[in-house]
Amino acid sequence: METIKDKVAIIGMGCCKFGENWDKSADDMIIDAVYEAYEDAGLTREDIQAAWVGTAFSGIGGISIAAPLKLDRIPITRVENFCATGMETIRNASYAIACGAYNIVLCVGFEKLKDTGLAGLPAGYTHPVLGINVTAPGRWAMGATRYFQAYGIEPQEGRKTLAQISVKSHYNGARHPKAHLRREITIEQVLNAPLIAWPLGLFDCCGNTDGAAAAILTRADMAKSFRNDYVLIKGIGLAIGPGLGKEDASYDYIHLPETEAAAQQAYEQAGITDPRKELDILELHDCFTISELMTLEAIGICPKGKAKEDIDAGTFTLTGELPVNADGGLKSFGHPVGASGLRECYEVYKQIQGKAELPERQLKDVRLGLSHNQGGHPGSLLPIITILGQAG
């Protein structure tokens, strides 16, 4: 089996301002993100040979981007993989590039959630009996409850650790001009906020947001003709299981086995053996603070049951040993479902290039980064992990 390592390059990316974009349609946001990517890559619409679009709720079919962008008579595929929809566009496009079918392709992810009038995500199809009364925060909260119980952490103490994740992300997001929520918060604010699904409170949950992001991919051997600071795909892992953690009595609710497998795939392709040492930045899918904590253990950054120690010690802050969600993560950007996976790559891409907009946000010597996108919840997870690396 061949590895995807160093076969595909990202030569342009774009990301619209995330937020409650009442004055923008999905088409407007798609245009903002894609034209930024065109400009970044130095390309135009006519150069695009094929495209992948990811949206979970806001459109169907390839025409959802062809119409606003006026892409004409090229292959376009809509992909969907729950909340991992965004990065799924990059994964599919990468293999199309790697096999030589196309030289230049476009990836677009978008979601227009704020027009639904709902406080949470639309439900989609649910089983009329078994699928009701479940929410995304509730599903993740069940992981938090068991995690605290399993490791003997008093719930209030555990909530403080989760609060630190939120405080860190808000600090970072306050410094990113494209973030939805741009304000610093305190531990007290997090702990005193209304409870959404015990033990998760309001600030443990990401927001519902509108947004779009885009990437332009090419063959690694052609990338230099576009720019010197292109970014290489080093590995992509996607691991989906039967998702029977709710039914399986042996599932412990404190591990994320699918994420462990996806990380393993990505590390093997990228040749990473010591992720904590080798990676310079992590973009983790922090739909809920507990997800960030559990993922840190699942991808081998912290030993099992030890993420709390690192979080409490500030390991993952902007100035810490290994910055996590330097852009503020889902906590600050919100979660426009189809866009998030691309936004998670956008931050690593920009940090590797040294173009993190504000100097105070720019990390030093970022060569290798990990972007993690996921759908589902403990026991039924769809994680995608992409490793991005500096050219050369």
Partner 1 sequence: MKTGIVSYGAYIPIYRLKRDEIARAWDRGSMGGEKAVANYDEDSATMAVEAMIDCLRDSDRQSVDGLYFASTTPPYREKQSASLIALAADLRRQIFTADFTDSLRAGTVALRAALDAVKSGSGKRVMVAAADCRLGQPQSDSEQNFGDGAAALLIGDEGVACEIEGSYSHADDILDIWRTETDTFTKSWEDRFILSEGYVRNTREAISSIMEKYRLTPPDITRAVFYAPDQRRHSEMARAMGFDPKTQVQEPMFATVGNTGAAFALMMLVAALEESRAGDRILFANYGDGGDAFILRVTEEIEKIRERRGIKRHLASRSTLPNYEKYLRFRRLIPTEAQAREQANAFPPVAWREREQLISFHGSRCKRCGLTFHPMQRVCIYCGAKDEYEGVRLSDRQGTLYTYTVDNLALSSDPPTIVSKVHLQEDVEGGGENHKVGVYCLMTDRNPEKVKPDMPVEMTFRKMHDSGGMHTYYWKCRPPREP
Listed ranges 129-137, 261-269, 292-300, 333-341: which one lies at the site for partner 1 (CB under 8 A) = 129-137
The residue among 10 and 163 lying less far from partner 1, judged by its C-beta, is 163
Supply the minimum distance, in Å, between the C-beta of residue 222 and partner 1: 45
Q: Does 249 bind partner 1 (CB under 8 A)?
A: yes
Binding part of the chain for partner 1, among 180-188, 248-256, 352-360, 381-389 by CB under 8 A, reads 248-256
Per rule CB under 8 A, is residue 240 in the interface with partner 1? no
Contact 91, 387 (CB under 8 A): no
Cis peptide before 155 (omega within 30 of 0): no
Among 60, 244, 306, 314, binds partner 1 (CB under 8 A): 244
Question: Dmax of the chain from CA atoms?
Answer: 59
User: Does the annotation mark 335 as catalytic?
Assistant: yes
Q: Who's near 222: CB < 8 A, 6+ residues apart?
A: 9, 103
Alpha-carbon distance of 161 to 146, in angstroms, equals: 15
**Measured between alpha carbons, how far is 125 from 235 in angstroms, rounded to an integer?**
33
Spatial CB neighbours of 188, under 8 Å, sequence gap ≥ 6: none
The yes or no reply on residue 156 touching partner 1 (CB under 8 A) is no
Binding of partner 1 at residue 143 (CB under 8 A)?
A: yes
Least CB distance to partner 1 at residue 255 (A): 13
Residue 98, token pair as written in the block: 């790697």
- Contact with partner 1 (CB under 8 A) among 92, 145, 166, 315: 145
Per-residue mark of binding to partner 1, 98-127 (x: CB under 8 A): -------------------xxxx-xx--xx
CA distances from 348 to 88, 188, 372 (A): 17, 30, 11
Asked if residue 309 lies in contact with residue 323, where contact means CB atoms within 8 angstroms, the answer is no
Beta bridge partners of 373: 384
Binding-site member from 200, 239, 384, 388 for partner 1 (CB under 8 A): 200
| Helices within 77-152 (DSSP H only) | 85-98, 136-150
152 binds partner 1 (CB under 8 A): no
Chain contacts with partner 1 (rule: CB under 8 A):
117-120, 122-123, 126-130, 132-135, 137-139, 141-146, 149, 194-200, 242, 244, 246-251, 253
Q: Among all residues, which ones are annotated catalytic?
A: 83, 335
